[in-house]
Structure 1
Amino acid sequence: MGAHNEPKDLLPLTEPVFHILLSLADGERHGYAIMQEVRERTDGDVVLVPGTLYGAIKRMRGLGLIEETDARVDPELGEERRRSYRITAFGERVAAAEAARVSALARQAALKRLLPEWGLTT
């Protein structure tokens, strides 16, 4: 799992890493499916290009956040074999810690009236 034993050691996550973890939280996916899911979930606001995606995947595997699964045949893409990835238990803990960190920041922004739709007051 690399030199990091605690999720907080890896925070804050980069946007691509967090989006990849969010994508894999639903189950295993191959790289192209991760790119599609992120694009759809963010209404096109976040687009992971292959270089960014696969560079992040390599680092994330090295940190023990995700792991490669057996190659699967995707029936929608013919007989092409693709590498699939899944989130590890450590990756889930890191994603949860990042979500909590971002949520706390958003709450502070709401308290400062930067997110009026939240309706929070001090």
Structure 2
Amino acid sequence: MTDVPMREPTFLVLTALAAEPRHGYAVIEDVAEMTGGRVRLRAGTLYAALDRLRVDGLIEVDREEVVQSRLRRYYRLTGAGEQSLSAETARLRAQAAIADRRLRARRATLGGATT
């Protein structure tokens, strides 16, 4: 865990795995759903991220199964992954709170105008 902000795709992949173990395609679908279609991970990008997150100890393989003659690997968040996601969530929450306070102050100064 570092003080460097997490890249959005990493944050989204970890968030997708926070609820339950998922296989790659399910992660892609969940990320698209979470972002209203704004972020669409490509398979190559996802699997490179999954490999990096495994090496970093943030996720691990939960299980593997064969579906229609293809291997499906499920990934889950590790304790370190949960801590990292928690820390990033807190960082984002703090930044959003600062923005919210400043916007409220701006509106108060401008007498409610939002231009």
For residue 119 of structure 1, what is the aligned residue in structure 2?
none
Q: 1:10 to 1:79 in 2, by over 3 A?
A: farther
Give yes or no for the alignment of 1:81 onto 2:67.
Answer: no
Structure number with larger C-alpha Rg: 2
- Taking the aligned partners of 2:3 and 2:21, their CA distance within structure 1 comes to 22
Paired residues in the alignment total 105
Choose the corresponding residue for 1:112, options 93, 102, 106: 102
% of aligned pairs identical?
Answer: 42
Moved over 6 A (4+): none
- What pairs with 1:1-122 in structure 2 (closer than 5 Å)? 7=1, 9=2, 11-74=4-67, 78-113=68-103
Alpha-carbon RMSD: 1.8
Q: 1:73 to 1:26 in 2, by over 3 A?
A: farther
Any gaps of 5 or more consecutive residues in structure 1? 1-6, 117-122
Please give the TM-score of this superposition, normalised by the length of structure 2.
Answer: 0.83
Alignment partners' CA distance in 2, 1:34 and 1:40: 10
Shift of 1:51: 1.7
Return the TM-score normalized by structure 1: 0.79
